[in-house]
Amino acid sequence: MYFPAKVSLSSIAIAFVCSQAISQDGTQILITNVNVFDGVNEELIENANVVVTDNLIAKVSSEPLSATNRVVIDGGGRTLMPGLIDAHWHTLYCCNPQSVIATGDILEVAVRGAIGSEGTLMRGFTSVRDVGGNSFAIKRMIDAGEIKGPRILPSGPPVTQTGGHFDYRPYQAVPSNSGDSQWYWYSVGLMAQADGVPEVTKRAREIMRMGATQLKISTGGGVSSTYDPLDVRQYTKAEIEAFVEVADTYNTYVASHVFTDEAVEIAVAAGVKSIEHGFLMSRETMELMRDNDVWLSVQPLLDDEDGFSFDDPISQQKWIDVTNGTDFTYTTAKEVGVKVAFGTDILFDPKLAERQGAFLAKLQRWYTPYEVLKMATSTNAELLELSGPRHPYQQGGLGVIAEGAYADLILVDGNPLENIDLIADPHKNFDLIMKDGKIYKNTLD
């Protein structure tokens, strides 16, 4: 079994220089006879050969490459593309029923999250930005090669104000008392609550101390939560600025769950760099985001066959209100030219999580297949770069097939640039899945 070594920044140059040599443990893989979508360019590199040394891509070439001392995989004319990235994923919430998150044992939550992580990788998602939940231990075990899953950039517990989107306490929980900070899911890091600048500052630092790569907060009403109508703004500007200031001291950024114009305007003014969802925004607000270099991290959530169903009729109505904005949001965001990231935000349903690739394919309503694939690879990787020195994967690039990039690769049986629906069924159409130079699936043998 191959365990990726932790490598310092200074060794990048060494890896580059030595990229043509056989690595110390001799791990070198030559993938022949593939058409390469490199994550950036629409033009495929045809009849290409790709050499993987250890965990990095060492060579991409249309010239024949020698196979001495190399494991050879004949790609048979298939399309090789970078591993997919989901920029709005919840390692724990995705794969646990809401009732288990709300009333269950953290051990059950964690086990389901770990099982779900293997499923995520086996759908070709080799990296995720976790925008809420306690995914630190799962991330560590994945990185150590002890369990299977994607690379994770964890936000840790998402932070809410009292009565905000992540305040899932029952009605009887208020008036609050001094024991509230020990509410079960707060003490196990599934969510966090903070009110007022001093408490916000403290919680934000605690979450960075846990190992967060960015902070996730909620600054507006949510769908799955009961006590915060969609029009409600959450946190004062001063509180949001306090989150941003702590993130800034760690040289990273804040992502915020928010839907409406007014709430987005305040978040942008306070320095939030990634707007999560934004389904109820006007064109003017998207222009404001574009002018301030703020990302729109939006999901193809529609009231279709994959529509979420909530026990609470209030949440169900909110779901319809929000998904009514999806089409306008994508269409207008594209026209305006705001930076758009792809994510799924699949919640509370392991079966629905299986549809992660199908969610990506839904972007064809608004984008060409090339635009879809670029967004879910190199563009999403660009968003992850906002974590700066907190980005855990500094050795190579993500979301691209290029020399020196991480060997996170998918071999597709067909050309997804011509038929984007191929990515909707990864179990059938992905013949090879590699992450960090290690093969997790290979049906070509």
Name the site residues for Zn ion (rule: CB under 5 A): 345
Name which of 225 and 429 has its Cβ closer to Zn ion: 225
Name which of 345 and 408 has its Cβ closer to Zn ion: 345
Name which of 167 and 345 has its Cβ closer to Zn ion: 345
Instruction: Please give the residue whose beta carbon sits closest to Zn ion in the complex.
Output: 345
Least distance in angstroms from the C-beta of 341 to Zn ion: 13
Instruction: Tell me which amino acid residue 426 is.
Output: P
Place of tokens 């998402």: 158
Task: Report helix angle 237-249 to 197-210, nearest 10.
Answer: 30
Least distance in angstroms from the C-beta of 276 to Zn ion: 6
d(CA 13, CA 11): 5
Least distance in angstroms from the C-beta of 257 to Zn ion: 6
Least distance in angstroms from the C-beta of 436 to Zn ion: 26
CA dihedral sign, ordered 177, 202, 246, 131: negative
Least distance in angstroms from the C-beta of 390 to Zn ion: 20
Element containing residue 278 per DSSP (H, E): strand 274-280
Up-side HSE of residue 219: CA atoms within 13 Å toward CB?
A: 37
Residue 85 tokens read as: 């990235």
d(CA 8, CA 16): 13
Name which of 130 and 436 has its Cβ closer to Zn ion: 130
Name which of 114 and 128 has its Cβ closer to Zn ion: 128
Least distance in angstroms from the C-beta of 213 to Zn ion: 16
Place of tokens 């916000």: 200
Name which of 143 and 345 has its Cβ closer to Zn ion: 345
Mark 242-279 as b/e (b = at least 16 C-beta within 10 Å).
bbbbbbeebebbbbbbbbbbebbbbbbebbbbbbbbbb
Task: Report helix angle 326-336 to 283-291, nearest 10.
Answer: 40
**Secondary structure class of 151 (helix, strand, coil):** strand
Name which of 49 and 155 has its Cβ closer to Zn ion: 155
Least distance in angstroms from the C-beta of 132 to Zn ion: 6
Cα 264 to chain center, whole Å? 21
Residue 230 is classified by DSSP as T
Question: What phi and psi values does residue 320 have, to the nearest 5 degrees?
Answer: -65, -45
Name which of 301 and 424 has its Cβ closer to Zn ion: 301
Pure H helices in 212-345 = 237-249, 261-270, 283-291, 313-323, 326-336
Name which of 345 and 413 has its Cβ closer to Zn ion: 345
d(CA 205, CA 210): 9
Least distance in angstroms from the C-beta of 206 to Zn ion: 21
Least distance in angstroms from the C-beta of 358 to Zn ion: 18
Residue 406 is classified by DSSP as B
**Secondary structure class of 187 (helix, strand, coil):** helix
Name which of 37 and 185 has its Cβ closer to Zn ion: 185
Name which of 345 and 403 has its Cβ closer to Zn ion: 345
Up-side HSE of residue 61: CA atoms within 13 Å toward CB?
A: 10
d(CA 44, CA 179): 59
Least distance in angstroms from the C-beta of 437 to Zn ion: 31
Least distance in angstroms from the C-beta of 435 to Zn ion: 23
